Amino acid sequence: MDRRKKIYLGTNTKMYKTTAQTVAFLKRLNQLTKDISRDRMELFVIPSYPSLAAARESVPRQSVSLGAQNMAWEEEGQFTGEISPLMLQEAGVDLVMVGHSERRHVFRETNEEENKKVLCALKAGLSPLLCVGETAGEKGFGIAEEVIRTQLKIGLYGVMPCEARKIRIAYEPVWAIGVNGEPASKEYADQIHTVIRRTLTELFGAEAGGDVPVLYGGSVNPQNAEELIWMPGIDGLFIGRSAWDADNFNAVIRKVLPVFEEKRAGEGAE
Ligand code: 13P
């Protein structure tokens, strides 16, 4: 299974960093991590739209994949203010985030809209990184699993098993994200990751569904990164604040990579 071979680590810089700051960040991150084979790690950065082209020029594609934070669900048309997947492709983008918590909750995007974006991204050859996660209220009512399953089943509706290898999932509980967020416990995160894996295999079958990487995000920091990545259901980490300084991100990478590899070696021995 390809998913097990490497760790997935990425950051979303949200509405922070100018183009100059993004380029400086990428160059430093690439420099700091160049000794780590990309067969062991998929490293991605998701900066602001205007910085994408310069970001792509600044580091090799094989070293750092680039993502966009959002996308329209059509390739072109009368959609003032929107960005087409073709424009992202032209800028050298590899993946596109769909349904980040801030898109769903600040900008009121729906599961149906996320689905249209996932299908449109796949058509354009981009990898959708579909973000899912329950609010504190939904968790309180005991419906987190139902919410996640609904987000996945609608968000991925119509995706073929042969396209599933392009998909990545990020589990980001809304209550865990950002300055007021409280990180999920490793046990809770792993429990939801198990539900996500089960849903993916229901949708795509054991082989294709078993191969989709599922990342955890939401207040990942240097203190909790190792215990999270040690959990069997967690294939990678999607980090905000703790990764926005390249040296800090590199420090987290150096902590989690050996833990991840020890976990996978142990699974192989079972
Ligand atoms: P934080 O790590 O800052 O909580 O942000 C997570 C996130 O939203 C990544 O997309």
DSSP string, 175-238: GGSSTT--PPPHHHHHHHHHHHHHHHHHHHHHHHHHTS-EEEESS--TTTHHHHHTSTT--EEE
* 143-193 tens-digit pLDDT: 999 999 999 999 999 999 999 999 999 999 999 999 999 999 999 999 999
The CATH number assigned to the domain holding 146 equals 3.20.20.70
42, 100, 113, 134: the catalytic one is 100
* 119-128 tens-digit pLDDT: 999 999 999 9
Is 178's C-beta closer than 6 angstroms to any atom of ligand 1?
yes
Give the percent of the chain with pLDDT over 90. Answer: 97
193 classed as catalytic:
no
**Ligand 1 center to residue 177 CA distance, Å?**
5
Number of domains in the chain: 1
CB-side exposure of 25: number of CA atoms within 13 Å?
A: 28
Instruction: Please tell me whether the overall predicted TM-score, pTM, comes out greater than 0.95 for this model.
Output: yes
Among 9, 12, 180, name the best residue to mutate to test ligand 1's pocket (greatest count of ligand atoms within 8 A of Cβ).
Answer: 12
Residue 240: which domain range? Answer: 3-269
For position 2, what pLDDT does the model report?
79
Is 219's C-beta closer than 6 angstroms to any atom of ligand 1?
yes
CA of residue 83 relative to chain centroid, distance: 19
Mean pLDDT of 86-98: 97
What is the average pLDDT score of the chain? 97
Mean pLDDT of 209-227: 97
The most distant pair of C-alpha atoms in the chain lies apart, rounded to whole Å, by 55
- 242-265 as b/e: b if 16+ CB within 10 A: bbbebeebbbbbeebbebbeebbe
Mean pLDDT of 127-134: 98
Q: Is the dihedral of CA 32, 34, 40, 43 positive or negative?
A: positive
**Is the pLDDT at 113 greater than 70, yes or no?**
yes
For position 270, what pLDDT does the model report?
56
Is 240's C-beta closer than 6 angstroms to any atom of ligand 1?
yes
Mean pLDDT of 1-30: 95
pLDDT-derived band at 268 (thresholds 50, 70, 90) equals: confident
